[in-house]
Structure 1
Amino acid sequence: MNANVEVRELCKRYGSKKVFEGLDLELGEGVIGLLGPNGAGKTTLLRCLATALTPDSGRTEILGLDPTHWSQRTELRKLIGYLPQNPGLYPHFTAAAMVDYIARLKEVTDRRIRKGEVQRVLAEVDLAEAAGTRVRKLSGGMRQRLGIAQTLIGDPKFLILDEPTVGLDPEQRMRFRTLTSRLGQGRTVLLSTHQTEDIAALCDRVIVFSEGKVVFDGTAPELADAASGRVWASGTQPAAAQVFWRTADGRYRVVGERPPDGTPVAPTVEDGYLQFLGAGARAGA
């Protein structure tokens, strides 16, 4: 793999709490999904990669640049598009003014070029007609799309998206998938989400992050296969220790040990994810 992002022995703590320690990671071109429970360290890792947070130790090289050097970090920030969980949009700005402001921060100084960039990225996320609407009047989904538009300013080579589909309706999510799959051609897109269906639909590679460690690194089908022989359909409610839920047909989907009347079910990415989080092991306890 030709890595655009290399992380070596990365460490980050908050006081006495260790978020991750000795983390090694390489990211190449394509759409890479990052899965993990709340508190696993995903957002901290994304902030370090976006140069918004400084790790305590270790080495990071992104697009051939070292963010520990001030001049290289400044150059790198022009090449990164970062969507945090809470983009921090200014409510009194119009959608166009908000994106224009980010373009200025990215040092797109030519007014004509900046205007063209604002129009381009708003069109990419279907907000061209809302360019003059103030942020406070946009719906939650429109604000999320505006956040995505901001990340596209300057045609960045490394996109970091933290929960980008929150607030999007099914049609908007489909459009996001179309856009993201196209953006993954010729650049690195790191997508953190709890939506396993987005991972299965979009990602060339999936990383499962748990307690500051990579516990799985492979393809979406390989992640689903990890739960092979551990997913069942049952007509009776399993024991409370099992991981299960009631499906629309009245049966129960069980991840873990086979129930007495269990019949095998094809595993999904979500099932494999539960396995790597230890749910499958706990199910048989």
Structure 2
Amino acid sequence: MELTINNLSKTYPNGVKALNNISLTIPQGMFGLLGPNGAGKSTLMRTIATLQDPDEGSIILDTTDVLKDPQTVREQLGYLPQDFGLYPRINAQVMLDHIAQMKGVGNKGERKELVESLLQKVNLYQHRRKALGTYSGGMRQRFGIAQALVGNPKLIIVDEPTAGLDPSERNRFYNLLSEIGENTIVILSTHIVEDVNTLCSNMAIICQGEVLMTGKPSEGIASIDGRIYQKSVEKSELSEYQDKYSVISTKLLAGKLSLRVESDENPGDGFEAVPADLEDVYFSHISKKVDPITI
């Protein structure tokens, strides 16, 4: 099973070019799509999910042409958008049963077994009779995954799934996504580097509608290892260092800025070599398109 995207482009009526000749090959497993807000990630996800058409390009899921045969894709798709509505007064069990009916599970006994199985999988069975409006953010996200899994999809898309979750809920969500990713294609769209580093065996970095990097996270780190240097400076000195060095990121720590720069050789001037990580890979590519980002 493989998802192949070729030369996908999309420009909105206001002139914003959300996708610029995107090409990606996404294998089975967890695939991280990493990029800042406004990078085009959600546009790409909605296009793959057949919710909007591109201006040009193609998307093939296994042997199915996604753009020409959207109904077949929808039958194989599980989708958890960044923001999704819930009927606040309906409980999880009733809502999932309704979704299963819409997905074509007509037998009442089969639906009951499916709904109970999914609620167990996402650790919501004990809360199955609670109104969805009373759920916490993490519980809502886990319910979102449950509804995305109805119909045994071959492709699952999750858009910014851990935004707003506390650390314990995020860890539960990580474990759930990792389990799901063993048997299907899961595209994880996020701006949180930790999500990709923790979960994904393959990834891409996207910014301003363009793919800047694809590959395994470990390959990305290896490509810049030995090229990252760090130094703490006063905030007032930032512009001076930006003029002299290739600053890829800054982080405010105890009133001082910790600068990370990328260089072919040790820049001296008090900089120290540090091991590269996936965050450095991300900022190395993003900084070539936009100004260095303070995190």
Q: TM-score, normalised by structure 2?
A: 0.86
Answer yes or no: is 1:158 the counterpart of 2:148. Answer: no
Contact 1:208 1:273 in 2 (8 A): yes
How far did 1:8 drift? 1.9
2:132 aligned partner, one-letter code: V
2:251 aligned partner: 245
Answer yes or no: is 1:137 the counterpart of 2:125. Answer: no
1:269 aligned partner, one-letter code: L
**CA distance in 2: counterparts of 1:87 and 1:64, whole angstroms:** 29
Match of 1:264 among 267, 270, 273: 273
**CA distance in 1: counterparts of 2:291 and 2:130, whole angstroms:** 50
**CA distance in 2: counterparts of 1:259 and 1:276, whole angstroms:** 23
2:220 aligned partner: 223
**CA distance in 2: counterparts of 1:146 and 1:253, whole angstroms:** 39
Instruction: Evaluate the alpha carbon distance shift between residue 77 and residue 281 of structure 1 in structure 2; reply closer, same or farther with a 3 A threshold.
Output: closer
Deviations 1:44-93 (CA, angstroms, capped at 9, x unpaired): 10011111112222222113212334xx4223212111000011111121
Contact 2:231 2:260 in 1 (8 A): no
**CA distance in 2: counterparts of 1:280 and 1:212, whole angstroms:** 11
1:39 aligned partner, one-letter code: G
How far did 1:128 drift? 0.8
Once structures 1 and 2 are overlaid, which stretch shifts more, 239-248 or 172-181? Answer: 239-248
Once structures 1 and 2 are overlaid, which stretch shifts more, 36-45 or 159-168? Answer: 159-168
Deviations 1:120-141 (CA, angstroms, capped at 9, x unpaired): 1111111111111111111122
**CA distance in 2: counterparts of 1:281 and 1:127, whole angstroms:** 42
**CA distance in 2: counterparts of 1:225 and 1:186, whole angstroms:** 28
**CA distance in 2: counterparts of 1:259 and 1:203, whole angstroms:** 35
Match of 1:149 among 135, 143, 146: 146
**CA distance in 1: counterparts of 2:31 and 2:283, whole angstroms:** 19
1:53 aligned partner: 52
Answer yes or no: is 1:14 the counterpart of 2:38. Answer: no
SS in 1 for 2:7: strand
1:167 aligned partner: 164
How far did 1:227 drift? 4.1
Deviations 1:172-207 (CA, angstroms, capped at 9, x unpaired): 222222222222223111101122112111111110
1:209 aligned partner: 206
Q: Where do residues 120-131 of structure 1 align in structure 2 (5 Å cutoff)? A: 120-131=117-128
Once structures 1 and 2 are overlaid, which stretch shifts more, 187-196 or 19-28? Answer: 19-28
Instruction: Evaluate the alpha carbon distance shift between residue 160 and residue 168 of structure 1 in structure 2; reply closer, same or farther with a 3 A threshold.
Output: same
How far did 1:31 drift? 0.6
**CA distance in 2: counterparts of 1:63 and 1:109, whole angstroms:** 27
Name the count of aligned residue pairs.
278
**CA distance in 2: counterparts of 1:266 and 1:9, whole angstroms:** 35
Answer yes or no: is 1:274 the counterpart of 2:283. Answer: yes
Once structures 1 and 2 are overlaid, which stretch shifts more, 220-229 or 117-126? Answer: 220-229
Contact 1:256 1:281 in 2 (8 A): no
Match of 1:254 among 236, 256, 259: 259
**CA distance in 2: counterparts of 1:118 and 1:104, whole angstroms:** 11
**CA distance in 1: counterparts of 2:81 and 2:268, whole angstroms:** 42
Contact 1:226 1:275 in 2 (8 A): no
Q: CA RMSD in A?
A: 2.3
**CA distance in 2: counterparts of 1:237 and 1:231, whole angstroms:** 20
Gaps of 5+ in 1: none
Once structures 1 and 2 are overlaid, which stretch shifts more, 163-172 or 26-35? Answer: 163-172
Q: TM-score, normalised by structure 1?
A: 0.89
Gaps of 5+ in 2: 243-248
Instruction: Evaluate the alpha carbon distance shift between residue 281 and residue 115 of structure 1 in structure 2; reply closer, same or farther with a 3 A threshold.
Output: closer
How far did 1:6 drift? 1.5
SS in 2 for 1:240: helix
Instruction: Evaluate the alpha carbon distance shift between residue 13 and residue 105 of structure 1 in structure 2; reply closer, same or farther with a 3 A threshold.
Output: farther
Deviations 1:103-136 (CA, angstroms, capped at 9, x unpaired): 2221222211112221111111111111111111
